[in-house]
Every structure is written in structure tokens, then in C-alpha cells.
Amino acid sequence: MTDILVVAELYEGKNRKTTLSAVAFARQVAEATSGAFDILSIGEGANAAAQELAGFGARKILETEIAGGYVAENLAATVAGAAKGYGVVVAAGTAYGKDLLSRAAGKLAAGVAPDISAVRVDGGELVYTRPMYAGNVIATMKVTTPIQFVTVRQTDFEAAAASGGSSPIEKFAAQADEVAKRLRFGSLESVKSERPELTEADVIVAGGRALKSEDNFKNVIDPLADALGAAVGASRAACDAGYVAADLQIGQTGKLVAPKLYLAIGISGAIQHLAGMKGSKVIVAINKDKEAPIAQVADYFFVADLFDAVPALTEAVKKLATAG
């Protein structure tokens, strides 16, 4: 029997959707080992976030309100304290999850399985699968310490749906940390957008180097994204060329996404990019080069000039929206 603790990811006092990928992992492991899972809601706004998480089937919700914005050192000791008594501690494999869980694991001298894509039980032990080298190598691994820390790829663990019921909420006292006393939260500068957040969007329109300029990116990609209510992403080449900000990069060294619909516009499909989006449910690509690597993963591949095809597609989407 393995009990699991899910560490929720909060932003501006609300749960991130990525937390539900960690919940999906926890449900799977709990069912396979006849265990149970709890959720730790920690940070600023933890009380309201705990209320949101009460309907996902956890045995209980632990709530720790810690004001002052996210600083890993402020939270790590509390996560390490809450982890005692659990076999596995899990969070989504985001910058938050990787930062916080690695620090908490260090305090307990515990092993970490990062960025996993699958888990199974073999001989009573948990065996993790994770891609390496942009997915060219698939590694299997075990963690041999009494408490295992895990971060999961949200592209491979679909967000858990609410299961009904209402988990009890318990206060969990924040743990003191000498390191945290020497730090303070300064400020957070975040980009506000009316579009969906890239890692949580159901539809993504992504552009590549073939757009040739920042103006073309705005004039071609943005209208289609607006018509679809989609998030905007980009290949590394487009970001490096300065067409869009670096935080829109999708790929192995950017953000991992798995929307219901992914439109790749003028993206050749370098392996680095494919590693970040090939988990998308439906992939549509538009490219002049019929031999472009992205054709190998696309469900629909259109050989066309994007400067003709995308404006036409945008108009068609607008007409459908009006007719509907």
C-alpha cells in the first residue's frame, strides 16, 4: 500500500490546472497499490485553493497559508514536513514543481524521479518511465528511498476530473526554515493576456521561422488565434529570431503542451519542438515543404503557402462562428 501526497501549484491564490495532472498520477498509483492520496494546498491563498480541491477524491486536504509570494525556500521545509508518512510526493513537472520538490527532497535525502511520462507497479515497486534526449531514449527508473519525490509531465497525465464528494480540510502548520529567514519575496512581473495560458489551453496556434518577421507573426498568427479563442505559441527558431517573446516557446527547452487542437504554422518540426507538443490530441500543420518532419506526427498536413492559407482559414473560422 502506497499513500501519495500531491503538492498543489497555486498562482495568485488559485490552483493551476497542472495540479490536476498530479492528481491523475496520484489516483493511478493509489488504485494500483490499494493506497490513498492527500493534497497539500500551500502558499498564498491556500484556504480558497483547498476548497476548490475538495471535490477530487482526496482522503483529506492539508492547508498551509504562507503569505509573501512564491519563494521555494519559504515552502520547502513545510513540504518536507508534510511528506513524512507518505510513500510518494508528487507535483506537476512545471518550473514550480521541479524547483520546490527538489528542494524538499534534499531536506529528506530522498530520491527524485523527474518529468515522468508513465508509472507502473512491478513486484510491489513503482517503476517510472521518462523520455530523454528529446524523446529519442525512454528510460525506466526506480527510486529506492523510503519517500519518493516525483514530478509528472502534464502532457502525459490528463487533468483529473472532479469525482464528487467533499474531502475534509485540515490545517498543517508551516515549518520554520533558517534559510528562508535570510530571504524575502521582492516582486513578480507577469505578462497579462486575454488569451488562455499556454500550458492550459485547449487550442494552440503556433508559428515558426517561416513567418519571417514579428509583424507577419502578429498579422497572420494572432487573428487566427483570436478567432479560435486559442493560445499563441512558437518554435524556438521564431523566438530566437525575435518574432515573439521567449515565454511562448514550445519544445524541449520551452513549454510542454498537449492541447485538444494544435495548429503548427510554418514550423518544420525539429525534434526539439516535437518533444514539446507531440502529445497534442489533434495536430494540424501548414507548410510549403511536403517533406517537413512535422508531417510525421500531424493528423492533418496541408502543403500550402501559409501567407495564403492562414488568412483564408481565419476568415472561414469567423464565418462559422457568426453562423453559429
DSSP result, 110-121? -EEEEEESEEEE
CB-based burial of residue 95 (10 Å sphere; 0-12 exposed, 13-18 middle, 19+ buried)?
exposed
Q: pLDDT class for 183, splitting at 50, 70, 90?
A: confident
- Strand pairing report for 125-132 and 137-141: antiparallel
Rounded Cα distance, 118 and 140, in Å:
9
All three cell numbers of 204, joined, read: 494552440
Q: pLDDT class for 324, splitting at 50, 70, 90?
A: low
Ordered structural domains, the chain, with CATH:
4-182 (3.40.50.620), 198-323 (3.40.50.1220)
Are 270 and 238 in contact by the 8 Å Cβ rule? The answer is: no
Say which residue the cell 512535422 belongs to: 294
Are 215 and 239 in contact by the 8 Å Cβ rule? The answer is: no
Query: Could you give the percent of the chain with pLDDT greater than 70?
Result: 99
Rounded Cα distance, 310 and 44, in Å:
42
Kindly report, residue by residue over 26-49, the tens digit of the pLDDT. Answer: 999 999 999 999 999 999 999 999
Quick one: average pLDDT of 68-93? 93
